[in-house]
Amino acid sequence: MSDQRTTPAVPGNDDAVIDPHSSVPAEPIDNPGLPAHQPRPTDIDPKAAKRAERQVASLFLLSIVFAFLFVVAYFVFEIGEDPDLFGGLGASNLFLGLTMGLSMLAIGIGAVQWARKLMSDVEIVEQRHPAASSPDDRAEVLAALQQGLDDSGIARRPLIRNTLLGALAVFPIPMVVLLRDLGPLPGDTLARTVWAEGMRVVNDISGTPIRPEQVQIGQLINAEPAVFFETDADGEPIYTDHEILIEKTKAAVIVVRMEPQDITPAAGRENWGVEGILCYSKICTHVGCPISLWERQTHHLLCPCHQSTFDLADNGRVIFGPAARAVPQLPLAVDSEGYLIATQDFDEPVGPSYWERG
């Protein structure tokens, strides 16, 4: 390439000048200047240029064809009927996407080919200018600024300046106060759940109460407070769908049964279980995912979100992972009809820790 160079440097191009202000040693090699433009086949061979022209035009035509095919596909393929066609993609989705995509790609590739093959590829040199404005401009701006400040008299009248600053500092307060009704104050809502003395522990899907003898050793049952499934005197649900969503976030529990001799209850929790059946909060104490993976041999409960692991035979103690607290336990008993009930609400807040939790 270099043997075809016509001139060592483009005239008018002062590249090779070495910055006189620089304190570093002279550049080891002088800038040889911009190499001369190399013509492309399409620059010198009219046949090649014609070929390129036809190529670009065909791409644009192809785009039109695909755009039409898109419209055809839109009306031909029903959706909803058989979304499992073509590996779950659905015929409509597949053909709409492909025709749209190819129509766009053809325009794009055509335009880029046009630029690369046919538009002038002569390189242009443009001089840069320092980002800063000229010293004169700067001085003028500073002078204007000073003039403005002087005219306002702000320096001479500190009373105005200070009261203005005060007003500017205070005026956002109404804006912030406006945000107050974004939500209610937390109060102690996070510390309480709907569990109460005597509330039955029911299956989370069917809402049926649970008898101790129905729970096998090693089994885990996802459970909820019975009140989610109950209606009031008028036959209306006590909690709306939405309230249930919120309350479930704290009240969801799991019921597990282990060999009674494997369990080592903490002081005061000796009679929180019924024949080896224990009930724990389902909400992880790390950041609140529902915990679901149960290893019956080890009595370990694993959170799928960040893998905190809790030992349910040992009061829900954390044995691995980022959670800091044991999962709260719900004390169980059996009511007169032989169903599992809670004897009280959780004695500590469930779910993730927070500042006021203590």
Partner 1 sequence: MSTTGGTPAASTNGTTPASTGKPSRLAGPANWADERLGIGKSTKKQLRKVFPDHWSFMLGEIALWSFVVLLITGVFLSLWFKPSMAEVTYLGSYDQLRGLHMSEAYASTLDISFDVRGGLLMRQMHHWAAHLFIGAMFIHMMRVFLTGAFRKPRELNWIIGGMLLLLGILEGFAGYSLPDDLLSGTGLRIADGLVKATPVLGTYMSFFLFGGEFPGDVIISRLYIAHVLLIPGLILALIAAHMMLLVYHKHTQWPGAGRTNENVVGFPMMPVYAAKAGGFFFIVFGFTAILGATLQINGVWGYGPYNPAEVTAGSQPDWYMGFAEGLMRIFPGWESVIFGYTVSWNVMIPGQIIPLTMFAIFLAYPFIEQWITGDKREHHLLQRPRNAPSRTAFLAAMVTLYGLLWAAGGNDILAVVFQLNLNWITYFMRVAVFVLPILVFILTRRWCISLQRHDSEVLLHGYETGIIMRAPEGAYSERHLPIDPERAYTLTARERDEVYELESGTNEHGVAAPNARMQRFRARLSAYWYGYNVQKPTREELLEAHEHAAHELEAHDDQHSADGHQFDGRHDVEGEELTHRH
Q: What does the binding site for ligand FES look like in residue numbers (CB under 6 A)?
A: 284, 286-289, 303, 305-306, 308, 321-323
Q: Does 91 bind partner 1 (CB under 8 A)?
A: no
Q: Which of 48, 98, 196, 334 binds partner 1 (CB under 8 A)?
A: 98
Contact set for partner 1, span 319-348 (CB under 8 A): 320-325
Stretch that binds partner 1, among 32-40, 213-221, 256-264, 269-277 (CB under 8 A): 32-40
- Cβ-contact 210, 223 below 8 angstroms: yes
In sequence order, the 6+-apart residues with CB closer than 8 A to the CB of 314 are 264, 299
Q: Nearer Cβ to ligand FES, position 37 or 306? A: 306
Tell me the CA distances in angstroms from 61 to 36, 103, 323, 327, one per residue in order: 36, 9, 61, 66
Q: Which of 89, 142, 160, 165 binds partner 1 (CB under 8 A)?
A: 89
28 binds, among ligand FES, partner 1, none (CB under 5 to 8 A by kind): partner 1
**Across the strands, what pairs with 274?**
277
Q: Least Å distance between CB 336 and partner 1?
A: 28
**CB neighbours of residue 73 within 10 Å:** 20
**Across the strands, what pairs with 221?**
255
Q: Nearer Cβ to ligand FES, position 103 or 308? A: 308
Q: Does 15 bind partner 1 (CB under 8 A)?
A: yes
- Cβ-contact 277, 227 below 8 angstroms: no
Stretch that binds partner 1, among 149-157, 212-220, 265-273, 290-298 (CB under 8 A): 290-298
Q: Least Å distance between CB 345 and ligand FES?
A: 22
Q: Which of 42, 52, 69, 92 binds partner 1 (CB under 8 A)?
A: 92
Q: Nearer Cβ to ligand FES, position 103 or 281? A: 281
Q: Least Å distance between CB 99 and partner 1?
A: 9
Q: Does 292 bind partner 1 (CB under 8 A)?
A: yes
Nearest to 95, CA basis, from 65, 71, 62? 71
Q: Nearer Cβ to partner 1, position 318 or 334? A: 318
Q: Nearer Cβ to partner 1, position 20 or 158? A: 20
Q: Least Å distance between CB 68 and partner 1?
A: 16
- The whole-angstrom separation of Cα 73 and Cα 69 is 6
- Cβ-contact 219, 257 below 8 angstroms: yes
In sequence order, the 6+-apart residues with CB closer than 8 A to the CB of 249 are 283, 288, 351
- The whole-angstrom separation of Cα 117 and Cα 120 is 8
- Cβ-contact 258, 265 below 8 angstroms: no
149: left (phi > 0), else alpha (psi -120 to 50), else beta? alpha
Backbone angles phi, psi at 325, to 5 degrees: -125, 155
Q: Nearer Cβ to partner 1, position 150 or 243? A: 243
Contact set for partner 1, span 232-251 (CB under 8 A): 240-242, 245-246, 248-249
Q: Nearer Cβ to partner 1, position 276 or 321? A: 321
94 binds, among partner 1, ligand FES, none (CB under 5 to 8 A by kind): partner 1
195 binds, among partner 1, ligand FES, none (CB under 5 to 8 A by kind): none
Q: Does 67 bind partner 1 (CB under 8 A)?
A: no
Q: Least Å distance between CB 291 and ligand FES?
A: 6
Q: Nearer Cβ to partner 1, position 265 or 322? A: 322
**CB neighbours of residue 228 within 10 Å:** 19
Query: Which tokens go with 165?
Result: 């600053």
Nearest to 4, CA basis, from 31, 29, 35? 35
Backbone angles phi, psi at 328, to 5 degrees: -65, 145
Q: Does 122 bind partner 1 (CB under 8 A)?
A: yes
Q: Least Å distance between CB 241 and ligand FES?
A: 25
